[in-house]
Amino acid sequence: MKLNFKFLDTEKWSMFGTINTLVPFLLTLLFQQEVDLRNMIFSSLICMMEGQLLPKILFVGFLNFMVMEDNINWIIQSCIYVASVFIIHHIPYDNFIHKFVLTNPIALLTFKILIVLWMLRIGHDIFYKLASIWKH
């Protein structure tokens, strides 16, 4: 099995990945889970994957077990990640929304801003966690 990750490969790929990030993000909100550093990073990784469906699901499954917790929220979030992989795998590249974002200057700028905000939020959360570690 082979699985690839594309990270900020081209603007076109970045927009596709960002649009796909809406899937786990919206599922997280729908199931009333907390949007935190872990699921933001999981969502980003899920949307960077390129390859066959089975390796994607197996990889996300292993990541889920790596951060295993003994509570219902972990089970819900793990199901969200696997469902997101399945849904995103079936979203075609160059779909209508993807083309719209790439050809509409306002939509393109909006998604570029969303990428920056997403990365800033992840960076902020990492910095906050590191700062709390250093205090102790």
What was the pLDDT predicted at 57?
Answer: 94
Residue 6 predicted with pLDDT over 80: no
What was the pLDDT predicted at 84?
Answer: 96
What was the pLDDT predicted at 26?
Answer: 94
Task: Categorize the per-residue pLDDT at 3 as very low, low, confident or very high, splitting at 50, 70 and 90.
Answer: confident
pLDDT digits (tens, 9 = 90+) for 9-29: 777 888 888 889 899 999 999
pLDDT digits (tens, 9 = 90+) for 35-66: 888 888 888 889 888 889 999 999 999 988 98
Whole-number Å distance between alpha carbons of 124 and 103 = 31
Q: Is the pTM of this model over 0.85?
A: no
pLDDT digits (tens, 9 = 90+) for 58-106: 999 998 898 888 899 999 999 999 999 999 999 999 999 999 989 999 9
Whole-number Å distance between alpha carbons of 61 and 76 = 13
Element containing residue 72 per DSSP (H, E): helix 72-89
Whole-number Å distance between alpha carbons of 4 and 18 = 17
14 CB contacts (<8 Å, ≥6 apart)? Answer: 8, 115
